[in-house]
Structure 1
Amino acid sequence: MKTKIIASLLLITLLSSCSLLKFQPQFGTEALSKQDLNTRMAVRSYYKSFTGQVIQAADSIVATTEEPSIKAEAIKWKGAATSACARTAFQSDAEIALVDTWLLAKQMDVYLQASGSVHFGELSQIAEACANELVNEIQQTAKRSNDKKHYEELLSFVETYPLTSELYEWQFSKFDTRPLLIEHLQIPDSLYTSTIGTGAEVMNDFTDRMSVYNEQIQSQLAWEKDLILLTLENDSLAEPYLARIDSLSQMLNRLAIVAQESPEMMGIIAVRMREELTPVLHDFNTGMRTSIYELSQERQHLQKYLDEQRVLLRDDIQQSGKVLIEETTDNLIRFIRRISWLIVFVVIVLVGVIFGLPFTLGYLLAKARFKPRLTNKKDE
């Protein structure tokens, strides 16, 4: 009897302390493969090199030339190129980010070698050399991040991808390479992306994006400010006003002399002053309207860029949250299915213990209590 009681207590203790019965769902997803992780880090490292080289080349052009139009194009170039690279490099899918960034570098090189060279005049070689170096660098990055066979497949895709050699206001193409790349690699769509990473990797990815977008917006605001100041300091707009002011100053000096010596000439001088002041006021109004219009255009460009970044940020947050919730739900369901047999077994054991143990104990206690009486009666 004592042996049965001890065995029952030990069974309950073992079941309650069994680690398999502890509910510990994993809220992350499958970790990124070593290949994807290395590719992601390599592409984001290339982004820093890309932005650094483009900014350096553009600033070199601005410092070298005296032409306001060339300076303005250099500022627009670095703003558009760095923004486009941030958009392509910081994607969730590491290989898509690599291919899109590769295509961006190639498109910039093709454009600057063709019609884009007119933007910088004699200094176009600086921009062309920068773009060519960036193409070589991203190609080497892809080669180091992939085995020989896969690298050759990606190289073939990039070389055959249709790229336009014409850009409007430095608006680089927004690539949608995923379906074409999957078809090129002959991989089923359902098998191409197996995971977006664990919860920690997703959050790190999100943090990196926020940091880059914040830096990009700050840089873009500074460059837009430089464009506005460059527009206001344009010599072609300032020279007519200076000439009119000099003429007016000379007339005022003559007016002071004539007013002292010959008051009757004041009427003639007043007429001439009106003739001189009217063009000045007209030119001033025209220049102000032009400057206000240009400032309005710059403001619209800036607002458009901020709206695009806001939409991109919102989409990233929604997509990351949606994927994280879906993956967590799937993992939870798989976990419950995997341990369902154990749950049923535990429930059966617990029911048996809860309902069987009291009856067993009662039976044993009653038997122990009435056994002496039965023995005495038999003896009598």
Structure 2
Amino acid sequence: MKGWMKLAAALFAAVSLTGCSLLKVSVATGDPLSKEQMNVRTMTRGFYYDMAGEVARAADSIVAASPDVNVRIAAVRWKIRATRAGVTAAMQGIPDVALADLWILCRRMNEAFAGAPDSLLFGPQSDIARDAARRLDRRAGRLARQVLPDDRYTLMEGFVADYVRENPASEGDETDNTTLAWLEYLRAAGVESGYATGSIAEVLADVNDRLSGQTQQMSNSIGWSKDIFEMRLGQDSLRMQVGAQLDSLERSFARIVAVAENLPEISDKVLEELNRQATQLIWTMNASVDNAFADFDRQRGELQQYVSREREALVEQLRTTGGDLVRTMLDALPGLVGKILLYVVLALAVLVGGPFALGFWLGGVRARAKARKAENS
């Protein structure tokens, strides 16, 4: 009996001390995104890069095939606006809203291009843009079907159709933030949605993706704006005007030679006409050069304003994301402190109260054993 009691006491002490090694402290970093939401975010942003590449290729094909400088400029502008709207839609924080906005962008572009005549688009090359917009609309629908559950896909399909019908875009490449509209649509359908902000690692990765996408799009836009400037500079027809004046001057020289050979008495009038033609040529060259430099200054000012706006938007977005991250950490801090205090109290209770209770119990057992032994003797 005495040996069994010692064995039981030893086992109890071993279990109590071993249990202390199971005490682990974990830092709460916010509710992480679910696997489904992470999949939607990753696939949506991947689709944006594919969309931007396809729009750029279609616009470059139009530029290469069209002899009209106005059509070429319109194609480059479409490329800039579509990619800018795409990165704004795809880099949103809520995965479902990002997917819906990108789908709405492709649907608007498809419907606008399909309904507009060639004269309002890209002339004979308009079918290139229509085919690209049609493919992107279909791909956005297939992506939503792949990454969303059946019930959520049905809701998003109806939401996109209703939103595009009620909010048509004039040129097919604008995007709206539909966060409130999407949540109200879900609530009207009886679906209450809650979205997690993600862990610290996920928030930092999201910030990195946004900055990377915005920076790449801004760099592309600056290069494409330079292409527009070069097209407009060529549109001034400086070489054509100078060439026409030189041809006229050559004809004047030919007339001078003919007149000097046949009618020397009117050579003075011919020389005056030559002087007038040369003066007009100089004025034309000066005006064209002044116009070219003025247009260059205007384009440079517009480009500087665009870069400043993009930089301010990036800084504001980073500031907002940093504030959200700090608030998430501060909101998680009280829970973390409470858990640490609870674990400390439990540890003290196990380390201090356990041995005391065990000793008290063993003392009582020993006293009762002595009392029984005394009674028996």
AA in 2 matched with 1:33: S
Partner in structure 2 of residue 160 of structure 1: 162
Question: By how many angstroms is 1:187 displaced?
Answer: 7.8
Say if 1:29 and 1:198, in contact at 8 Å, map to a contact too: yes
Further displaced range: 320-329 or 341-350: 341-350
Q: Deviations over 1:10-56 (max 9, x none)?
A: 99x969x7664x76534x32221011101011111111221121111
Alignment pair present for 1:175 and 2:176: yes
Does the C-alpha gap of structure 1 residues 187 and 299 become closer, same or farther in structure 2, counting only changes over 3 Å?
A: farther
Q: Deviations over 1:288-314 (max 9, x none)?
A: 344344334433443343233213311
Rounded Cα–Cα distance in structure 1 between residues aligned with 2:160 and 2:238? 46
Partner in structure 2 of residue 224 of structure 1: 225
Partner in structure 2 of residue 43 of structure 1: 44
Alignment pair present for 1:131 and 2:133: yes
Rounded Cα–Cα distance in structure 2 between residues aligned with 1:350 and 1:187? 56
Alignment partner of 2:206: what SS?
helix
Question: By how many angstroms is 1:343 displaced?
Answer: 4.0
AA in 1 matched with 2:168: T
Question: By how many angstroms is 1:194 displaced?
Answer: 3.2
Partner in structure 1 of residue 312 of structure 2: 311
Give the alignment of 1:206-285 within 5 angstroms.
206-234=207-235, 236-251=237-252, 267-285=268-286
Structure 1 residue ranges (4+ consecutive) displaced by more than 6 angstroms after TM superposition: 253-266, 345-352
Say if 1:85 and 1:101, in contact at 8 Å, map to a contact too: yes
Name the % identity: 27
Does the C-alpha gap of structure 1 residues 302 and 107 become closer, same or farther in structure 2, counting only changes over 3 Å?
A: farther
Further displaced range: 291-300 or 326-335: 291-300
Say if 1:107 and 1:164, in contact at 8 Å, map to a contact too: yes
Say if 1:258 and 1:265, in contact at 8 Å, map to a contact too: yes
Q: Deviations over 1:72-95 (max 9, x none)?
A: 111111111112111111112111
Q: Deviations over 1:225-245 (max 9, x none)?
A: 221222222385532221102
Rounded Cα–Cα distance in structure 2 between residues aligned with 1:130 and 1:249? 50
Further displaced range: 127-136 or 253-262: 253-262
Q: RMSD in angstroms over aligned alpha carbons?
A: 3.7
Give the alignment of 1:189-204 within 5 angstroms.
192-204=193-205
Question: By how many angstroms is 1:133 displaced?
Answer: 1.0
Alignment partner of 2:96: what SS?
helix
The unaligned stretches of length 5 or more in structure 2 are 1-9, 354-377
Does the C-alpha gap of structure 1 residues 335 and 126 become closer, same or farther in structure 2, counting only changes over 3 Å?
A: same
Question: By how many angstroms is 1:276 displaced?
Answer: 0.8
Does the C-alpha gap of structure 1 residues 205 and 260 become closer, same or farther in structure 2, counting only changes over 3 Å?
A: farther
Alignment partner of 1:233: what SS?
helix
Say if 1:112 and 1:128, in contact at 8 Å, map to a contact too: yes
Alignment pair present for 1:30 and 2:47: no
Say if 2:25 and 2:340, in contact at 8 Å, map to a contact too: no
Rounded Cα–Cα distance in structure 1 between residues aligned with 2:319 and 2:194? 19
Alignment pair present for 1:142 and 2:144: yes
Rounded Cα–Cα distance in structure 2 between residues aligned with 1:166 and 1:237? 35
The counterpart of 2:121, out of the listed 108, 119, 128, is 119
Rounded Cα–Cα distance in structure 2 between residues aligned with 1:315 and 1:151? 33
Rounded Cα–Cα distance in structure 2 between residues aligned with 1:204 and 1:143? 25
Question: By how many angstroms is 1:338 displaced?
Answer: 2.9
TM-score (norm 2): 0.77
Rounded Cα–Cα distance in structure 2 between residues aligned with 1:341 and 1:204? 32
TM-score (norm 1): 0.76
The unaligned stretches of length 5 or more in structure 1 are 1-6, 353-380
Rounded Cα–Cα distance in structure 1 between residues aligned with 2:179 and 2:31? 21
Partner in structure 1 of residue 103 of structure 2: 102
The counterpart of 2:153, out of the listed 145, 151, 154, is 151
AA in 2 matched with 1:44: R
Rounded Cα–Cα distance in structure 2 between residues aligned with 1:111 and 1:77? 12
Rounded Cα–Cα distance in structure 2 between residues aligned with 1:80 and 1:340? 55
Rounded Cα–Cα distance in structure 2 between residues aligned with 1:290 and 1:111? 35
Partner in structure 2 of residue 334 of structure 1: 335
